[in-house]
């Protein structure tokens, strides 16, 4: 009988294997933390964008009679600054008859800005008739 020398194997990891595992784990943890931070930044940006859109919609709806609105108006609300412009668009079809002659087409645009480079713009068209003179009223 031939006697084989017993091979001694200790169970466990070498120091190099442990260091490689910790390196991989630390890279994964750092990447996941950066991913969560980016998600929070995007969530904040989306919230600001939504607030800006709501403010622009509100300022657009505040124009009840475009004929009486000043051509340009600016103001600020919180971190947002807004600018509203109202212009009359040419509408040749509205000048053909006496019934449509007092009507005008207005272009209402609202721009809301925040931060250094962020802004949103909304625009709409609205029709409105000039007020007819009241019979017997003095000018």
Contact 74, 65 (CB under 8 A): no
What is the mean pLDDT of the segment spanning 88-102? 80
Q: Which residue has the higher pLDDT, 76 or 102?
A: 76
**Considering the domain boundaries, does residue 4 fall inside one?**
no
pLDDT for the residue 8: 58
CATH number of the structural domain spanning residue 75: 3.30.1300
**Considering the domain boundaries, does residue 2 fall inside one?**
no
Q: Which residue has the higher pLDDT, 53 or 67?
A: 53
**Considering the domain boundaries, does residue 74 fall inside one?**
yes
**Considering the domain boundaries, does residue 65 fall inside one?**
yes
Q: How far apart are CA 26 and CA 36, in angstroms?
A: 15
**Considering the domain boundaries, does residue 8 fall inside one?**
no
pLDDT per residue as tens digits for the range 6-27: 565 667 889 899 999 999 999 9
E strand spans, the chain: 72-77, 80-89, 103-114, 118-129
Residues of the domain holding 109: 15-129
**Considering the domain boundaries, does residue 1 fall inside one?**
no
pLDDT for the residue 22: 94
Categorize the per-residue pLDDT at 86 as very low, low, confident or very high, splitting at 50, 70 and 90. Answer: very high
Has residue 73 got a pLDDT over 80? yes
Q: Please report, for the chain, how many H helices and E strands are present, in that order.
A: 1, 4
Tokens encoding 118: 């962020």
**Considering the domain boundaries, does residue 7 fall inside one?**
no
Residues 6+ apart with CB under 8 A from 41: none
**Total-model pTM:** 0.69
Categorize the per-residue pLDDT at 94 as very low, low, confident or very high, splitting at 50, 70 and 90. Answer: confident
User: What's the chain's average pLDDT?
Assistant: 86
**Considering the domain boundaries, does residue 69 fall inside one?**
yes
Q: How many domains does the chain fold into?
A: 1
3-state DSSP assignment of residue 95: helix
């Amino acid at each position: 009988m031939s006697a084989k020398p017993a091979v001694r194997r200790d169970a466990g990891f070498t120091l190099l294997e442990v260091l490689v595992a910790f390196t991989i784990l630390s890279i994964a943890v750092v990447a996941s933390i950066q991913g969560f931070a980016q998600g929070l930044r995007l969530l904040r940006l989306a919230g600001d964008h939504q607030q800006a859109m709501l403010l622009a919609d509100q300022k657009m709806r505040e124009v009840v009679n475009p004929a009486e609105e000043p051509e340009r108006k600016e103001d600020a609300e919180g971190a947002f600054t807004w600018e509203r412009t109202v212009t009359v668009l040419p509408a040749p079809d509205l000048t053909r008859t006496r019934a449509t002659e007092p009507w005008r087409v207005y272009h209402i645009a609202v721009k809301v800005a925040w931060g250094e480079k962020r802004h949103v713009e909304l625009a709409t068209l609205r029709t409105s008739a000039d007020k007819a003179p009241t019979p017997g009223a003095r000018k």
